[in-house]
Amino acid sequence: MTAGYKDDKEDWQAVCLKYLLFVFNFLFWMGGAAVLGVGVWTLVEKSDYLSLLASSTFAVSAYILILAGSLVVVTGFLGCCAVIREQKSCLSTYFLCLLLIFLIELVAGVLAYVYYQKLSEELKHHLNQTMTENYAQPGKGDITLAVDKLQQDFKCCGSNNSRDWLMSVYISSKPAESRVVPDSCCKTIIPLCGKRDHPSNIYKVEGGCITKLEQFLADHLLIIGAVGIGVACLQKRRRTSVHCD
């Protein structure tokens, strides 16, 4: 009777452990989906502005999140197989993968946080130079498109203000055709609209692009950092909890 009761208890514990692992695996997949989604969303929404940044840290952080999220798909499948087949070696591999993903997500979060601290200084030193020296220059088509999109999306003109364009290589050149600002500064873009820099025509009183791009990137760096570090810590806690069980 005692032996039978013991066997029933062990069977009940095994079933509970299986369900616990399945629930954990589902939560793990959900966290991975969030990480993957944030990584893809960051690159898709901000890919147009990456050429304006001196550092590749922003893109690297997003790529790391995408890598971590992709690993979750594989690791989640491994976890399901381990639970169904009750293979201890497979479970050990599963937990090692969890540790690897934890470290990857943590790195992405830390990178995003560190870059967030340096973002303002980088934009102040780099953005104005990039816009005035590379806009509409040979071989700089990606920067030209990025600047035009930046000025239209954020309703801004120049890095600090519209007067910054007076020092640009493009405005001083013959192809500018006497423009004082690029046409992308105009509230309504028509050919040669940049010849007139009145506030009714261009984004002159709305401010420069540095502060707006900085806020835009900073908000998303905070999201990357929070998702990377937050999900990593949650996964670490769940991993420890399951090991204890």
pLDDT computed for residue 13 by the predictor: 62
Cα gap 9→27, rounded to integer Å = 27
Q: Tokens at residue 180, please?
A: 């004082």
- Quickly list H helices, 47-173: 57-85, 88-134, 141-153
pLDDT computed for residue 243 by the predictor: 47
pLDDT computed for residue 86 by the predictor: 62
Q: Which helix (H) or strand (E) holds 81?
A: helix 57-85
Taking residues 16-45, report their average pLDDT.
Answer: 72
Confidence of residue 195 (pLDDT cuts 50, 70, 90): very high
Cα gap 154→214, rounded to integer Å = 11
Is the alpha carbon torsion for 231, 101, 98, 79 positive or negative?
positive
pLDDT computed for residue 244 by the predictor: 41
pLDDT in tens, 111-166: 777 777 777 777 877 888 889 999 999 999 999 999 999 999 999 999 999 999 99
Q: What is the pTM of this model?
A: 0.67
pLDDT in tens, 41-98: 777 766 677 778 877 777 777 787 788 777 776 776 666 666 666 666 666 677 777 7
Is the alpha carbon torsion for 97, 100, 101, 102 positive or negative?
positive
Is the separation of the CB atoms in 228 and 61 below 8 Å? yes
Cα angle, residue 188 at apex, residues 183 and 190 outer, rounded to 5°: 55
